[in-house]
Chains A and B, each alone.
Chain A
Amino acid sequence: MVKRELFNRGGAKPVVSTDSDIILRSGTSPELFGQLYERHAATIHRYVACRAGAQVADDIMSETFLVAFDRRTKFDLAWASALPWLYGIATNLLKAHRRVEARTLHTLITAGLQHDASSRNEKTPPERSDDMIDAQLAVRALGPALATMRSGDRDTLLLHTWAGLDYAGIAIALQIPVGTVRSRLNRARKTLQAAAAIIDPARTRLTGTNSWTN
């Protein structure tokens, strides 16, 4: 078996190929752990910013890597990527920011409604209204749906949609079986669909005629 070359020929700065390599080597060369930050900090920040805003994301991004460094001996080196593990740490750190998270979601949805209203100029006028209202219905329904969802279901859903993790990745992040991930996602989707159901319109007055040709 060919041993991977972990150091460049200049000899000054070690180069490693996978996250697990970095974590393994950081046992003896702790400063190597900084490479993990360079790889994933922005990604973690983006996920946290979606959930709790940029300001909290700055703090949690930093704290995630401090915790990860201190707990690096617990990382399962069988996994090449540390991203799910980092997402898991960040998700747990987010628990202290539930209130901020609720406000951020509201802000995000408000901005999303405006974004939808302004980003559809490419449509012909008759098509636009229906598309807009459909998009707004979908976006608007997200707030109540996410608010009523169990926190475990919400974490699973948001790791899936905003972090882009697959079932296995979510299982690693949340330390739950893949089957539980599947059932949580299924439940979260149903909650979203139920919230998006259009309210039954109230009965409206009739004109007394069906004629439009007068």
Chain B
Amino acid sequence: MSTETPARSADALRKDDDTSAPAKGAGAVGAVASWVDERTGTAKGFRYLMRKVFPDHWSFMLGEIAMYSLVILLLTGTFLTFWFVPSAGHTVYDGSYEPLKGIAMSEAYASTVDISFDVRGGLIIRQIHHWAALLFIVAIMLHMFRVFFTGAFRKPREINWIIGLTLLMLALVEGFAGYSLPDDLLSGTGLRAAEGFMLSIPVLGSYISYMVFGGGFPGEAIIPRLFTVHVLLLPAIIVGLFTAHIILVMVHKHTQYPGPGRTEKNVVGFPMMPVYIAKAGGFFFIVFGITALIAGLVTINPIWAYGPYEPTQVTAGSQPDWYMGFADGALRLLPGFLEFDLLGRTWSFNIFLGAIALIPVLFTIAGAYPFLEAWITGDKREHHILDRPRNAPTRTALGMAAISFYAVLFFAAGNDIMAIKLHLSINDITNILRLSAVILPPLVFWVTKRICLSLQRRDRDLVLHGRETGRIVRTADGRFFEAHEPLDAHTRWRLVAFESNRPLELPEGSDSNGVRRMGAAKQRLRTRLSGFWFNDRIEAVTPAELAAAHHRGEYEALEAAAVEDSHPQEFGGHLHGGAEEIGTSHAYGHLEEEKSDR
């Protein structure tokens, strides 16, 4: 004890205590704010949050729709639990829906019919719930596409990409669980197929199935178990992950599209208070309102028309909700010969690949992509400016190829409907789709990549030569030119503000003494992948190129060279003019400029 505190009286001890009263003023708002802040100290954080800037773009609303659908689902789902009876217990229907009177069914089904007919407004809640679930997954997927195609998954957002993927996967399972709860004929058939999927799992299949169903299918355990999973387990995980997702968005601050004034070091947009409170808050009501309108006007999942689940019955055109369509389609396409007996055991790859392996494999690939791309580019910087999809042609093409594969599987789930509606052979449709699943993705990859590169070239042309004005000018010596109007700096910036990754050069495989370098094979792979990604690329226009395009003398020389190269006889002269002809020094150019000034 080297420093000694002088003894003080109790009053003296308290004299340093801060008992200052809150600042006066600001009326009622100030009073409430002071009251809360003195007890929580949140004023600083609140001020920060209210001033937080969000950039404006329609594609940023996709994630919002997903968020609001989740809120609608939680709200309407809670309502539904007040009337739904999660039991496979037997009962005989005695409600107001005549066609089902006296029919034996499960309590789950009977209570769902009651919600639809005998609970006032029950049907609207049920239909909002179902429509919101469909919308939820649509929105998640579109949001995911936006994130992928704009490269928003790059550092530092890789964790959020994976959280998002997990959320999508959980949403699929959650949707399927909810779809199965009413125990109608369609959902029972879906569960029956799900049991078939489980049985196809090598080694453990039948054990898993007997555990999940508490014995043989269907048993009586599955409805209450699914109920707990659907209303407690998965929602809790989804809400938890969603919260983490949003917190990370706040921490990272929102990405923004390239544009004048936007840099990697800022966010340009509108503040939370008041603009985004009104816009985003209002948007919640819009999403909810549209869902309610659709739910009121368009019937979804009319379980009363399907009847209760009866294992010996099935309806033609049995289909899952849309989001499970791709897995169902995969099942329809996988040929039977993938099942075989080996070592006295049955290997059902015709089922296992589509029903069990497909979803985890797709999600693993998607989850690995940000890390693969980062490894190939060697890019360790943070990225907050989004890529325009065309400026990442290989990524965009890969994404479109994946979507086309998904689309083939999705349409395959409707092969029977297509056969009926289009009067085609179901066998032909299935075979064509089988072929498409193999051929279409590479084709789409190639086409998309070419389109991206063409769009990039068009951007370059636009920057170099300006906009075509449609005004033809004849010079004194009889030559014709179309006047081009140069882009202003702000418009131009959007087109030139991107980096074009270059393919890696292959380093020497061995050092000067002829010894193979460690990790040479890995490096070779990386170089080859880098070549695949970046060999075809278009660079952004540089100031020097623009200057060259603008200067008549040089430009003419180039133009002549280009014409000679390609089609020497086609042009009698320089009919294809350019902005350089109506440059700053030109009389017509000035005219054009003055016009646009007004």
On whether the two chains bind one another, the answer is no
Which A residues are closer than 8 A to B by beta carbons? Answer: none
Which B residues are closer than 8 A to A by beta carbons? Answer: none
